[in-house]
């Protein structure tokens, strides 16, 4: 009654082919069909940002993207940040600055931060806060997260 | 052991669980799956109060893909649970008491099929009159939620002579304050995966906060021995007190479905289901009446608080008990009469939430304190310094504070941090303008751990491996606050090894003894002390073995830098791993079971006198706000948080708790309100229940004060909850400084700040507080046309 | 979400053909930020056919045609904010877009979706109405043009037929020297829908007298309208705070006349007046 379609896209740098019914979201696809559970579900209505992934390099709420909409596109999830186990500067900085408490918002936060740092070399605090405004965190009060992103930006910049 | 020399304690060690959390490999409850699992869903009541006439599940049971449909009659054992009063039903049998009550369960091969099945269960209800206003609920004629009547808690404190106190006053200040329902809003919704266990029992992995009390209820519901029910904590995506009873009911339901189907069952709440069913922070109505002298001294405090307990007792008796103990704030007064009630209504039930009965009364107390200052011409700092406790003070419950009472220190530091009283004076004298600035101050004292609420003991098991790595299991859970890291640090500290050598295991009821609940910020102080004891037992054995190896006495030896060393000159004798291996060779025990029981407390319920808590913590917050007087919008632009934590085991973690606590307090003060209309929730997701974003929380200056307390491990006391309990009054006091308007109802949202009161939709009597909130169809607006 | 069949439209022709074929059973999907929220609710009306237009590149452009600004409906809010054309020709449209939701929502949500969804709090609509925008609706029968000001019957209801696709948004660029501003009042500083909002445009001639004024309140009425009565009192006068305040009072008076006094009027009455005044003042502040 609900025919599936075959979907090809790039996931964390690798080609991915998967059968999916069209009424599933990208979040369903990642977590339930592909088994990448790093991307979290907190609200399913685009408010909490726990499901944030990069779609063609930009942060989006995967709960609001219909799975077939990613055909031919590029998706990066938190699992794609350290594919070989070497932490990216952002991940290092999150640990180092105490930006992780319960960790449920962390994957989404990291993806929003990555979008920011991929497009802005040394963003000021205000811009960082704006970039993570779509990621709710109930634990940290955001400050150590902002500090971590500032630090990652600095380290990435210096490394260049 | 000399903690001062210990480099691991007090350090900002990295969190032991952070790697998994930044790579996405950390497993939260909903991340677990098993082959052939079924999906469980709950049919919830469509009424705040109704008699169940009949339930017909035949059609649902026949649906393709449905494996089981259960109702209350299918529960083999106890149908009810409850930590204090056992009156909450796993599935409602005779009647529903709030919108979140479950009436039937479905297990199916997919979530969609389970939901479709719920839709064709036919329940006939006979609606009953709804009681949603707690003050009305206290009346004789009010509808009863439970047969025994609606008032189910009355705590008292009686000290001195209240009449005499008022007689000797120069004036009286009287105010009524109201607070709101608040949602915990952990970003992770509740989830479990339950499976049949080999030995005939059930094993449940989930986002469970208090595994042992949930286990008791599961065992009772299924008529199983406790040892056949294994509960394992998954990495918890936040709790703040909110994953207790709601998880107990989810565990029981999942276990019942496992029993009925013989297959694994996964249950995950959507955010809407979570908000509909879960318990909230108690709304309070608080009548405060103080008598005082012109010199600022308080001669009498008469306090009456009514807490809306909602449909079930839950933790209300304990939450309100903390309120009654702390209702006077940290201020000296000879004559006190306090009454705190908790009453049943058909609203969401209310229970534990970070702060646990203190944020409400602190809002009242700290507002009253500013009013007192106004009256006697003292600034908020002066009037607090004039009245606050010091070492040797006697509290309202007659407890003598014989430890370092650091209120003056924290108050002064918070004041200095924000520029008080200079700014306070300047903002007060500034003329008008649309955007007005203000600063506000608030402080508190808080009883540490459980107090006279119950036995306060916990277990930890420390097991040293033959290579010198260490495993720690604790009965006290890490809920995301970092208790695991702190316990690891404590153990690493005892052994003088790097924290990286210690692995902290999430709590598993098969591995450690019942350690009571992780509530009341007892993670570090009680769990940490147990871990320390356990490690010290093994340490003694290891030192014994090392002494034999080196031909000396254990008293000559110490452990540091990963080695056993001679204390006298620091010569390294053997690595920690070598000693561990030798210990194994010699057949000596390499694990230790540590137990910690907090010092005794006392309580006389009739008079409300006693040593309520074994020690207290002190804190002060200062807020600077900008109030848009035309729209009522308040922005917090600066914030200083000061807490005496005894000793910071991990200063980054303490700082994280402090800022997070302020953010939650800011939401409480300005934004958050779970509105119920005649028992029906008006918002069920984060689009309408608004918590602070990164744009709403200002940078917070944190000042950690350390007056080591002999009662805690390495001098540490608790930190999780105090950080959350005074932000709202600091903000509200700042609004007063800016506008000269006293907000007496939380949250101080646009309407309350602009108009001085909330917008009330005309509604029938007996209804709860009505606020325009975010839900006015014609004017403010919904993004989506339909509503659940 | 209930099942549906899914059609990817590669072109406008394919899209309108699909809409023609499936009529009321079909629904156009752009960024999905409104639709996916709507569809996941148990009682939602999930269409039988979803026509995904998000790959039609021709609907993505921002361009100038003479003094007319042309916008493809698939332009995202993030693209509006970044667009040099919008920033120079209709700055307040970019500011309105920048208040929408969060970065994630702005990366995905489209102008066309905002217009077609038609929520009373849709933030791009007040500036578009102030700009005198027109929209092009296409179907197998051809194209038609509508003024956005007459486009809505009530919230969530437009005059478009189910077989019509929004293919273009067009408005005359603001004349040089004309000032514009947008003010949004929300409950928090991000991820906040408009409690109330105001879009305004003001032009002043060499003598310092207001020659053009357009004021559109948002989230305040069942359909958006320019506040003509208030605009009239501005025209012909030199700008002043007192004049702007008067305009604000007129706007709020008109709103109350239209909606009647309700239990929430007590708040809205003074606040919408203040927001109108502020938005007009903002037009004359240094442009951000
Ligand atoms: C968390 C969150 C926050 C938000 N905050 C705001 C906010 O602050 N302000 C605001 O204004 N909005 C807000 N929105 C709403 C939404 O993001 C916007 O309305 C967005 O612009 C919709 O665009 P879309 O492409 O995602 O629309 P879709 O969801 O794809 O479509 C919306 C509607 O438009 C129709 N449609 C779309 N394109 C066309 C077309 N070309 N022709 C015909 N019909 C079409 C669809 O059929 C549907 O009915 C928010 C949404 C979320 C989830
Ligand atoms: S789950 Fe997608 S934003 Fe919350
Ligand atoms: S760390 Fe818990 S929600 Fe952000």
Q: Range(s) for CATH 3.10.20.30 in chain A?
A: 5-81
pLDDT for B715 beyond 90? no
Q: How far is the CA of B694 from the centre of ligand 3 (A)?
A: 12
Q: B29 and B206 in contact (C-beta within 8 Å)? A: yes
Task: Decide if C66 is inside a domain.
Answer: yes
Looking at chain B, the whole-number percentage of residues with pLDDT higher than 70 is 93
Total Cβ atoms within 10 A of residue B139: 11
User: Out of C156, C189, C222, whose CB is closest to B778?
Assistant: C222
For residue A64, give the ligand 2 atom closest to its CA: 2
Total Cβ atoms within 10 A of residue B761: 16
CB of A138 shorter than 6 A to ligand 3: yes
- Residue, of B316 and B782, whose pLDDT is higher: B316
Task: Decide if C256 is inside a domain.
Answer: yes
pLDDT of residue C33: 98
Burial class (CB in 10 A: 0-12, 13-18, 19+), B384: buried
The reply to whether residue A42 touches residue B189, judged by beta carbons under 8 angstroms, is yes
Q: Cα separation of B697 and C215, whole Å?
A: 33
For residue C186, give the ligand 1 atom closest to its CA: 8
Q: How far is the CA of B713 from the centre of ligand 2 (A)?
A: 40
pLDDT for C22 beyond 80? yes
* Domain locations in chain B as residue ranges: 3-26+457-597, 32-128+190-268, 284-451+604-756, 757-788
The reply to whether residue B187 touches residue A94, judged by beta carbons under 8 angstroms, is no
Burial A70-104 (b: 16+ CB within 10 A, else e): beebebbbbbbbbeeeebbbbbbbbbbbbbbbbbb
Please give the structure tokens belonging to residue B533.
């004891």
The reply to whether residue C104 touches residue A52, judged by beta carbons under 8 angstroms, is yes
Q: How confident is the model at residue B83 (pLDDT cuts 50, 70, 90)?
A: confident
pLDDT tens string B484-535 = 888 888 899 999 999 989 999 888 998 887 876 655 556 677 888 889 999 9
CATH code of the domain containing C263: 3.30.390.50
| Same domain as C166, residue C218 | no
Q: How confident is the model at residue B454 (pLDDT cuts 50, 70, 90)?
A: low
The reply to whether residue C6 touches residue A47, judged by beta carbons under 8 angstroms, is no
Residue to test with chain C: of B663, B780, B788, most C Cβ within 10 A: B780
Q: Cα separation of A45 and A28, whole Å?
A: 13
Topology adopted by domain B284-451+604-756: Aldehyde Oxidoreductase; domain 4 (3.30.365)
Q: Cα separation of B393 and B330, whole Å?
A: 9
User: Out of C193, C262, C271, whose CB is closest to B754?
Assistant: C271
CA distance B339 to chain A (A): 33
Q: What is the DSSP string of B409-431?
A: HHHHHHHHHHTTTHHHHHHHHS-
Q: Give the chain C residue nearest B778 (alpha carbons).
A: C222
- B18: contact with A, CB 8 A cutoff: yes
**DSSP secondary structure code for residue B523 in this structure:** I
Strand ranges, E, within B197-247: 202-206, 229-233
Burial class (CB in 10 A: 0-12, 13-18, 19+), B756: middle
Contacts of B735 (CB under 8 A, 6+ apart): B438, B440, B625, B627, B634, B741, B743, B748, B753
Q: Range(s) for CATH 1.10.150.120 in chain A?
A: 89-159
pLDDT for A1 beyond 70? no
Report C:150-209 residues touching A (Cβ under 8 A).
189-191
Q: What is the mean pLDDT of chain B?
A: 91
Provide the CA A9 distance to its chain's centre, in angstroms. 17
Domain of C15, in residue numbers: 5-52
Closest-approaching ligand to the CA atom of C112: 1
Q: Cα separation of B156 and B639, whole Å?
A: 35
| Same domain as C100, residue C201 | no
Q: Strand B502-505 and strand B470-474: pairing?
A: parallel
CATH architecture of B32-128+190-268: Alpha-Beta Complex (3.90)
Q: What is the DSSP string of B471-493?
A: EEEESSPP-SSSHHHHHHHHHHH
Q: How far is the CA of A63 from the centre of ligand 2 (A)?
A: 6
Contacts of B445 (CB under 8 A, 6+ apart): B326, B329, B330, B389, B405, B407, B616, B617, B618
Q: B486 and B524 in contact (C-beta within 8 Å)? A: yes
Q: How far is the CA of A104 from the centre of ligand 3 (A)?
A: 5
pLDDT for B246 beyond 60? yes
Count of the separate structural domains present in chain C:
3
Nearest-CA residue for ligand 3 atom 3 is: A137
| Mean pLDDT, rounded, for A92-99 | 95
pLDDT for A81 beyond 50? yes
Report cis status (omega within 30 of 0) of the bond before B72: no
Report C:45-64 residues touching A (Cβ under 8 A).
46, 50, 52, 54
The reply to whether residue C36 touches residue A66, judged by beta carbons under 8 angstroms, is yes
Q: How far is the CA of C32 from the centre of ligand 3 (A)?
A: 27
Q: How confident is the model at residue B138 (pLDDT cuts 50, 70, 90)?
A: very high
Q: Cα separation of B457 and B462, whole Å?
A: 17
Q: How confident is the model at residue B736 (pLDDT cuts 50, 70, 90)?
A: very high
Please state, in angstroms and as integers, the Cα–Cα distance from residue A154 to each residue in A90, A159, C281, following that order.
10, 9, 39
Q: How confident is the model at residue B765 (pLDDT cuts 50, 70, 90)?
A: very low
pLDDT of residue B774: 32
Contacts of C187 in chain B (CB under 8 A): 671, 690, 749-750, 774
Q: B542 and B580 in contact (C-beta within 8 Å)? A: yes
> Which residues pair with residue B338 across a beta bridge?
B157, B303
Contacts of A64 in chain C (CB under 8 A): 31-33, 36-37, 105, 108
Nearest-CA residue for ligand 1 atom 46 is: C28
Burial class (CB in 10 A: 0-12, 13-18, 19+), B403: middle
- A40: contact with B, CB 8 A cutoff: yes
Please give the structure tokens belonging to residue B559.
């452990």
Please give the structure tokens belonging to residue B61.
């049971």
Q: Cα separation of C228 and C250, whole Å?
A: 10
Q: B238 and B477 in contact (C-beta within 8 Å)? A: no
| Mean pLDDT, rounded, for A71-93 | 95
pLDDT for B61 beyond 70? yes
Q: How confident is the model at residue B542 (pLDDT cuts 50, 70, 90)?
A: very high
pLDDT for B273 beyond 70? yes
Please give the structure tokens belonging to residue B211.
């595994």
pLDDT for C106 beyond 60? yes
CA distance B271 to chain C (A): 12
pLDDT for B581 beyond 70? yes
Query: Residue A81's closest CA among A50, A47, A118, A44?
Result: A118
Total Cβ atoms within 10 A of residue B762: 7
3-state secondary structure B652-706: HHHHHHHHHHHHHHHHHHHHCCCCEECCEECCCCCCCCCCCCCCCCCCEEEEEEC
Report cis status (omega within 30 of 0) of the bond before B421: yes
Contacts of B354 (CB under 8 A, 6+ apart): B184, B240, B241, B661, B664, B720, B721, B724
User: Out of C41, C119, C190, whose CB is closest to B788?
Assistant: C41
Q: Cα separation of A1 and A13, whole Å?
A: 33
- Residue, of B112 and B431, whose pLDDT is higher: B112
pLDDT of residue B7: 61
Count of H helices and E strands in chain C? Answer: 11, 13
Contacts of B119 in chain C (CB under 8 A): 42
pLDDT tens string C2-12 = 899 999 999 99
The reply to whether residue C108 touches residue A61, judged by beta carbons under 8 angstroms, is yes
| Mean pLDDT, rounded, for B10-35 | 88
Q: How confident is the model at residue B636 (pLDDT cuts 50, 70, 90)?
A: very high
| Mean pLDDT, rounded, for C61-86 | 97
pLDDT of residue B8: 65
Place of tokens 């442009």: C287
pLDDT of residue B1: 41
Q: A108 and A39 in contact (C-beta within 8 Å)? A: yes
> Which of A138, A142, A145, A148 should be mutated for ligand 3, with most atoms under 8 A from CB?
A138
- A106: contact with B, CB 8 A cutoff: yes
Q: Cα separation of C69 and C63, whole Å?
A: 6
pLDDT tens string A35-63 = 999 999 999 999 999 999 999 999 999 99
Q: B22 and A91 in contact (C-beta within 8 Å)? A: yes
pLDDT of residue B528: 84
Task: Decide if C65 is inside a domain.
Answer: yes
Burial B110-131 (b: 16+ CB within 10 A, else e): ebbbbbbbbebbebebeebebb
pLDDT for B145 beyond 70? yes
CA distance A150 to chain C (A): 18
Total Cβ atoms within 10 A of residue C7: 22
Query: Residue B360's closest CA among B618, B183, B177, B155?
Result: B177
pLDDT of residue B452: 64
pLDDT for B780 beyond 60? no
Decide: helix, strand or coil at residue B352. Answer: coil
Closest-approaching ligand to the CA atom of B685: 2
Please state, in angstroms and as integers, the Cα–Cα distance from residue B646 to each residue in B111, B340, B709, B716, following that order.
49, 30, 5, 5
| Mean pLDDT, rounded, for C68-83 | 98
pLDDT tens string B665-697 = 999 999 999 999 999 999 999 999 999 999 999
Closest-approaching ligand to the CA atom of A104: 3
Q: What is the mean pLDDT of chain C?
A: 95
CATH architecture of B3-26+457-597: 2-Layer Sandwich (3.30)
Query: Residue B182's closest CA among B766, B771, B776, B746?
Result: B746
Q: Cα separation of B788 and B274, whole Å?
A: 13
- C1: contact with A, CB 8 A cutoff: yes
CB of A61 shorter than 6 A to ligand 2: yes
pLDDT for C255 beyond 90? yes
Q: Cα separation of C191 and B692, whole Å?
A: 10
pLDDT of residue B773: 33
Topology adopted by domain A89-159: DNA polymerase; domain 1 (1.10.150)
pLDDT of residue B10: 66
Contacts of C196 (CB under 8 A, 6+ apart): B780, C184, C185, C217, C218, C219, C220, C268, C271, C272, C275
| Mean pLDDT, rounded, for B185-209 | 96
Contacts of B685 in chain A (CB under 8 A): 43, 45, 47
Q: Could you tell me the end-to-end alpha-carbon distance of chain B, in angstroms, rounded to an integer?
A: 59
Task: Decide if C106 is inside a domain.
Answer: yes
| Same domain as C79, residue C152 | yes
Topology adopted by domain A5-81: Ubiquitin-like (UB roll) (3.10.20)
Q: How far is the CA of A141 from the centre of ligand 3 (A)?
A: 9
Closest-approaching ligand to the CA atom of A43: 2
CB of A87 shorter than 6 A to ligand 2: no
Task: Decide if C177 is inside a domain.
Answer: no
| Mean pLDDT, rounded, for B3-19 | 66
pLDDT of residue B450: 72
Please state, in angstroms and as integers, the Cα–Cα distance from residue B671 to each residue in A106, B271, B638, following that order.
24, 19, 17
What is the sign, positive or negative, of the torsion defined by CA atoms of C254, C257, C258, C263? Answer: positive
Task: Decide if C178 is inside a domain.
Answer: no
Contacts of B518 (CB under 8 A, 6+ apart): B209, B210, B476, B477, B479, B483, B527
CB of A107 shorter than 6 A to ligand 2: no
pLDDT for B778 beyond 50? no
Q: How confident is the model at residue C87 (pLDDT cuts 50, 70, 90)?
A: very high
CATH code of the domain containing C132: 3.30.465.10
> Which residues pair with residue C169 across a beta bridge?
C71, C135
Helices marked H in chain C: 12-22, 35-39, 77-82, 84-89, 91-98, 103-108, 111-117, 125-130, 228-234, 241-259, 265-284
CB of A134 shorter than 6 A to ligand 2: no
Contacts of A27 in chain C (CB under 8 A): none
Q: B629 and B692 in contact (C-beta within 8 Å)? A: no
| Same fold for the pair B32-128+190-268 and B284-451+604-756 | no
Q: How confident is the model at residue B614 (pLDDT cuts 50, 70, 90)?
A: confident
Q: Cα separation of C25 and C46, whole Å?
A: 9
């Amino acid at each position: 009654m609900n025919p599936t379609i075959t979907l090809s896209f790039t996931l964390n740098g690798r080609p991915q082919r998967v059968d999916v019914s069209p009424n599933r979201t990208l979040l369903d696809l990642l977590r339930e069909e592909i088994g990448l559970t790093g991307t979290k579900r907190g609200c399913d209505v685009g408010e909490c940002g726990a499901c944030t992934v990069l779609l063609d390099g930009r942060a989006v709420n995967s709960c609001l993207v219909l799975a077939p909409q990613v055909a031919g596109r590029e998706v990066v999830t938190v699992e794609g940040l350290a594919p070989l186990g070497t932490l990216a500067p952002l991940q290092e900085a999150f640990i180092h600055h105490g930006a992780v408490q319960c960790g449920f918002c962390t994957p989404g936060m990291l993806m929003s931060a990555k979008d920011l740092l991929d497009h802005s070399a040394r963003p000021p605090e205000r811009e960082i806060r704006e970039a993570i405004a779509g990621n709710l965190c109930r634990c940290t009060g955001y400050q150590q997260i902002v500090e971590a992103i500032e630090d990652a930006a600095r380290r990435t910049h210096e490394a260049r | 052991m000399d903690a001062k020399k210990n480099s691991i304690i007090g350090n900002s060690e990295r969190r032991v669980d952070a790697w998994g959390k930044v790579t996405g490999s950390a497993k939260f409850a909903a991340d677990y799956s098993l082959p052939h699992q079924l999906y469980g869903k709950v049919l919830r009541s469509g009424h705040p109060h109704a008699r169940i006439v009949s339930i017909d599940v035949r059609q649902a049971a026949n649906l393709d893909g449905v494996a089981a449909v259960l109702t209350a009659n299918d529960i083999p054992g106890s149908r009810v649970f409850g930590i204090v009063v056992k009156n909450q039903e796993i599935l409602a049998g005779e009647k529903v008491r709030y919108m979140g009550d479950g009436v039937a369960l479905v297990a199916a091969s997919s979530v969609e099929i389970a939901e479709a099945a719920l839709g064709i269960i036919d329940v006939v209800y006979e609606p009953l009159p709804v009681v949603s206003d707690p003050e009305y609920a206290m009346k004789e004629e009010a509808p009863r939620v439970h047969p025994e009547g609606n008032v189910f808690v009355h705590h008292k404190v009686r000290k001195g002579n209240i009449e005499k106190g008022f007689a000797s006053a120069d004036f009286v200040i009287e105010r009524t304050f109201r607070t709101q329902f608040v949602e915990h809003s952990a970003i992770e919704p509740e989830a479990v995966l339950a499976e049949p266990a080999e030995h005939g029992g059930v094993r449940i992995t989930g986002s469970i906060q208090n595994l042992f009390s949930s286990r008791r209820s599961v065992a009772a519901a299924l008529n199983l021995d406790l040892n056949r029910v294994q509960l394992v904590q998954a990495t918890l995506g936040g709790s703040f007190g909110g994953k207790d009873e709601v998880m107990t009911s989810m565990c029981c339901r999942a276990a019942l479905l496992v029993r009925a189907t013989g297959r694994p069952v996964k249950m995950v709440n959507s955010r809407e289901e979570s908000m509909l069913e879960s318990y909230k922070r108690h709304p309070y109505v608080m009548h405060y009446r103080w008598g005082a002298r012109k010199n600022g001294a308080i001669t009498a405090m008469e306090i009456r608080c009514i807490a809306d307990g909602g449909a079930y007792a839950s933790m209300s008796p304990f939450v309100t008990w903390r309120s009654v103990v702390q209702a006077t704030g940290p201020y000296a007064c000879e004559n006190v009469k306090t009454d705190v009630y908790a009453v049943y209504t058909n609203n969401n039930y209310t229970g534990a939430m970070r702060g646990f009965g203190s944020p409400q009364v602190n809002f009242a107390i700290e507002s009253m304190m500013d009013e007192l200052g106004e009256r006697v011409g003292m600034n908020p700092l002066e009037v607090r310094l004039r009245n606050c406790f010091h070492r040797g003070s006697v509290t309202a419950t007659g407890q003598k504070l014989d430890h370092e009472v650091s209120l003056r220190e924290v108050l002064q530091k918070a004041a200095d941090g924000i520029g008080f009283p200079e700014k306070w004076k300047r903002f007060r004298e500034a003329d008008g303008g649309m955007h007005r600035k203000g600063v506000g101050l608030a402080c508190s004292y808080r009883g540490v751990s459980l107090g006279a609420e119950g036995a306060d003991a916990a277990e930890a098991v420390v097991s040293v491996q033959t290579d010198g790595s260490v495993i720690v299991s604790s009965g006290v859970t890490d809920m995301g606050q970092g208790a695991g890291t702190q316990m690891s640090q404590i153990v690493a500290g005892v052994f003088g090894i790097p924290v990286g050598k210690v692995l902290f295991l999430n709590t598993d009821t098969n591995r450690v003894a019942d350690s009571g609940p992780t509530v009341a910020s007892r993670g570090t102080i009680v769990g940490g002390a147990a871990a320390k004891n356990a490690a010290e037992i093994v340490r003694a054995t290891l030192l014994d073995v090392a002494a034999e190896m080196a031909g000396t006495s254990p008293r000559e030896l110490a452990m540091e830098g990963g080695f056993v060393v001679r204390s006298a000159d620091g010569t390294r004798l053997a690595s920690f791993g070598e000693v561990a291996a030798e210990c194994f060779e010699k057949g000596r025990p390499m694990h230790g079971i540590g137990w910690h029981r907090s010092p005794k407390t006392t309580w006389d319920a009739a008079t409300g006198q006693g040593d309520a808590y074994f020690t207290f913590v002190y804190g002060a917050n200062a807020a600077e706000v900008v109030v848009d007087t035309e729209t009522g919008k308040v922005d917090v632009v600066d914030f200083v948080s000061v807490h005496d934590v005894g000793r910071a085991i991990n200063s980054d973690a303490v700082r994280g708790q402090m800022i997070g606590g302020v953010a939650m307090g800011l939401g409480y003060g300005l934004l958050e309100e779970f509105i119920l209309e005649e028992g029906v929730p008006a918002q069920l997701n984060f689009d309408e229940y608004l918590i602070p974003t990164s744009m709403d929380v200002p940078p917070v200056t944190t000042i950690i004060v350390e007056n080591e307390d002999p009662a805690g491990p390495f001098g540490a006391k608790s930190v999780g909850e105090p950080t959350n309990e005074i932000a709202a009054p600091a903000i509200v006091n700042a609004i007063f400084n800016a506008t000269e308007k006293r907000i007496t109802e939380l949250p101080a949202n646009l309407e309350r700040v602009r108009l001085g009161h909330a917008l009330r939709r005309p509604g029938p009597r007996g209804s709860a507080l009505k606020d325009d909130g975010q839900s006015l169809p014609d004017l403010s607006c919904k993004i989506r046309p339909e509503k659940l | 979400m209930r099942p549906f069949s899914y059609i990817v439209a590669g072109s406008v022709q394919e899209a309108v053909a699909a809409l023609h074929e499936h009529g009321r059973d079909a629904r156009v999907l752009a960024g999905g930020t409104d639709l996916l929220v709507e569809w996941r609710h148990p009682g939602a009306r999930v269409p039988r056919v979803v026509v995904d237009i998000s790959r039609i590149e021709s609907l993505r452009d921002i361009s100038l045609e003479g003094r007319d600004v042309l916008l493809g409906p698939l332009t995202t809010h993030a693209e509006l904010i970044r667009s040099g054309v919008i920033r120079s020709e209709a700055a307040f449209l970019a500011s309105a877009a920048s208040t929408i939701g969060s970065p994630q929502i702005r990366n995905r949500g489209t102008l066309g979706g905002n217009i077609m969804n038609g929520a009373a709090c849709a933030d791009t609509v007040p500036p578009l109405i102030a700009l005198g925008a027109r929209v092009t609706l296409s179907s197998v029968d051809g194209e038609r043009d509508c003024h956005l000001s007459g486009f809505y019957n009530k919230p969530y209801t437009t005059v478009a037929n189910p077989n019509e696709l929004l293919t273009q948004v067009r408005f005359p660029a603001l004349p040089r020297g004309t000032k514009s501003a947008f003010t949004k009042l929300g409950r928090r500083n991000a991820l906040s829908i408009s409690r109330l909002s105001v879009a305004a445009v003001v032009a002043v001639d060499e003598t310092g007298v207001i020659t053009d004024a357009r004021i559109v309140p948002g989230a305040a009425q069942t359909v958006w309208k320019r506040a003509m009565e208030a605009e009239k009192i501005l025209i012909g006068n030199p700008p002043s705070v007192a004049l702007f305040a008067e305009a604000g009072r007129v706007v709020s008076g008109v709103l109350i006349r239209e909606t009647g006094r309700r239990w929430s009027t007590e708040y809205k009455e003074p606040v919408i007046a203040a927001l109108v005044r502020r938005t007009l003042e903002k037009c004359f502040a240094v442009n951000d």
